[in-house]
Amino acid sequence: MAHDTHAISDLLERLRTTVGTSARLHVINHADGSLTIQVGDDAETAIGVSVRDERRPSYCVSYPKLSIKRNGDRHISTVTSDGVLAGGVTWIIEQLAQHGVVRPEFID
């Protein structure tokens, strides 16, 4: 359990260093092996992170994602990705800071 806490604390420090002032990070919850962060001032831009493998380290991450159907309909849902490395968590945070959601790779 102490390793999980260390891995999540290291991730939080990395996020603060990497993202810097480009996005305001509000820690909503910081418990053993898990973290909830709100990106910016919108409560809908929250990301949940828990340690999946502290040796690697990798994370299980929940975040809002935009899906676009062929007919143009847009839908935002909370998705969960498992085995995400720290760089991936940083990328998700940057997407939330820029767009308020994680957008598809190709978008009009």
Reported as a single tens digit per residue, the pLDDT across 72-107 is: 899 999 999 999 999 999 999 999 999 999 998 776
| 41 inside domain | yes
Report residue 1's pLDDT band, with 50, 70 and 90 as the boundaries: very low
Binned at pLDDT 50, 70 and 90, residue 56 comes out as: confident
| Structure confidence at residue 20 (pLDDT) | 75
> Would you list the DSSP string of 50-101?
EEEETTTTEEEEEEEEEEE-TTS-EEEEEEEEEEE-HHHHHHHHHHHHHHSS
Residue 83: inside a domain:
yes
- How sure is the predictor about 62, in pLDDT bands with cuts at 50, 70 and 90? very high
Q: Is the pLDDT of residue 2 over 60?
A: no
CATH number, residue 53: 3.90.1150
Query: Is 15 domain-assigned?
Result: yes
Say if 52 falls within a structural domain: yes
Number of structural domains in the chain? 1
Banded pLDDT at 3 (limits 50, 70, 90): low
Tell me: pLDDT of 18 over 80: yes
Domain with 6 in it: 2-99
In a domain, 8, yes or no: yes
Q: Are 54 and 34 a contacting pair, CB within 8 Å? A: no
Residue 23 inside a domain? The answer is yes
Domain for residue 40, yes or no?
Answer: yes
Is there a domain that residue 30 lies in?
A: yes
The mean pLDDT value of the chain amounts to 89
Highest mean pLDDT among 30-34, 60-64, 93-97, 104-108: 60-64
